[in-house]
Amino acid sequence: MHATFFKRPTGLNLVCALCFAVLLGSAVPCLGQGRGGGGGGMGTPPKPKDPGGDQPFDDRPTDSGTGWVMKYVPPKEGEDEDVLAYLTFKPEGKSAPIKLRIMREQAVKFDFQDKKEVEPEEYPEILTRGLYCRFTWKIIPPPEGKKVPVRLRQKELTNVSFDSFEISGTLDEIRDDYVVIRGRPTHDRLWPDSDAGTTTPGRGGTTAKAKAVPIRKVRLRVLEGVTRFLDADNKSLDAADFEPNHKVEAMIVYGRRGGIALSIKSPTLRSESGEEDRSADGRGGGRQPPRPPSPG
């Protein structure tokens, strides 16, 4: 009777066995999947839902920037029907202008104090030329297999917020849809488009001399649901309680060609009788009538 002995595996046989084991292990998770992950009855899993709604979670990359509105224009005839308008803004510094698409089916979120919902027809009334804003957008991936630099990819506007700040001065004009205030920023803050510093060097460069922030006439739009008129105790007033030459404090969104009034506050309390306060010179002329339409 002959005894049977197992042969000791050679080095070549051992290497082959290890390679086969690795290939088998990597193939197991792919079983049941066909081309594109849809074969064998196993499709691509759906995107996770947005916790705030039933829409698929938007995992497209996001970017943001601060700057000045350059233009807001509707699409030309024959262009993408899903686009409501195009907004172009100039970032701070020497960066090139950025063009954003505003989509019909995707509402833009505005950070306007208590007002968050803005109807699409209000967009051009708010996003006027020269307004200083912060924009957030989604970057649209290029078609599969096509390489497009990030800076050239299409961008969809999603959020608009504002860097509001306070000014104080004199109410120069007040109408139904706008006010004009002659004043300057409070707390020695500079105007957003000011390039000058708050100090200037003295003779010989040894002494710094304080430089006053210049007074400007600022035209501010009055928006329904956004602009509030307040007394010194932050209680609501009517626009009719204000008149030219009143001293006021205003929280505003600045714009080079006109901003937005968020709140206009009188530093003096209303009288207990409810009568309108008189201006410093004793005149009580009240609000001016609407400006007549310009010819043509």
pLDDT tens per residue, range 187-230 = 889 998 886 555 555 565 555 566 788 999 999 999 988 999 99
Q: Flag whether 110 is in a domain.
A: yes
Q: What is the pTM of this model?
A: 0.66
Q: Flag whether 176 is in a domain.
A: yes
Residue 177 is classified by DSSP as S
Let me know the angle formed at the C-alpha of 91 by 86 and 94, rounded to the nearest 5 degrees.
130
Looking at residue 236, which CATH number applies to its domain? 2.40.50.320
Pairing state between β 259-265 and 216-221: parallel
Is the same domain home to 115 and 174?
no
pLDDT tens profile 61-104: 889 999 999 999 999 988 888 999 999 999 988 889 999 999 99
Is the same domain home to 120 and 70?
yes
Is the same domain home to 123 and 107?
yes
Distance CA 64, CA 50 (A): 21
Is the same domain home to 136 and 116?
yes
Residue 292 is classified by DSSP as P
Looking at residue 99, which CATH number applies to its domain? 2.40.50
pLDDT for the residue 147: 78
Is the same domain home to 123 and 178?
no
Give the contacts of 123 (CB within 8 A, at least 6 positions apart). 72, 84, 85, 102, 108
Distance CA 78, CA 8 (A): 77
- Helix (H) or strand (E) holding 260, with range, is strand 259-265
Give the max Cα distance, the chain.
Answer: 132
Distance CA 55, CA 107 (A): 13
Let me know the angle formed at the C-alpha of 86 by 157 and 119, rounded to the nearest 5 degrees.
65
Is the same domain home to 103 and 146?
yes
Is the same domain home to 126 and 176?
no
pLDDT tens profile 45-58: 444 444 344 444 56
Is the same domain home to 127 and 185?
no
Q: Flag whether 186 is in a domain.
A: yes
Is the model's pLDDT at 39 over the cut of 50? no
Q: Flag whether 243 is in a domain.
A: yes
Is the same domain home to 130 and 187?
no
Is the same domain home to 260 and 174?
yes
Pairing state between β 178-185 and 165-174: antiparallel
Looking at per-residue pLDDT, the higher value among 102 and 291 belongs to: 102
Is the model's pLDDT at 38 over the cut of 50? no
Q: Flag whether 206 is in a domain.
A: no
Q: Flag whether 83 is in a domain.
A: yes
Is the same domain home to 236 and 171?
yes
Number of domains in the chain: 2
Look at residues 120, 5, 28, 18 and name the one whose alpha carbon lies nearest to residue 74: 120
pLDDT tens profile 92-141: 888 899 999 999 999 999 987 666 688 999 999 999 999 999 999 999 88
Let me know the angle formed at the C-alpha of 275 by 270 and 281, rounded to the nearest 5 degrees.
80
Is the same domain home to 118 and 151?
yes
Q: Flag whether 121 is in a domain.
A: yes
Q: Flag whether 76 is in a domain.
A: yes
Give the contacts of 282 (CB within 8 A, at least 6 positions apart). none
- Which residues span the domain enclosing 183? 165-192+211-265
Average pLDDT over residues 271-289: 45
Is the model's pLDDT at 279 over the cut of 60? no
pLDDT for the residue 272: 44
The amino acid at 122:
E
Other C-beta atoms lying within 10 Å of the C-beta of residue 109: 15
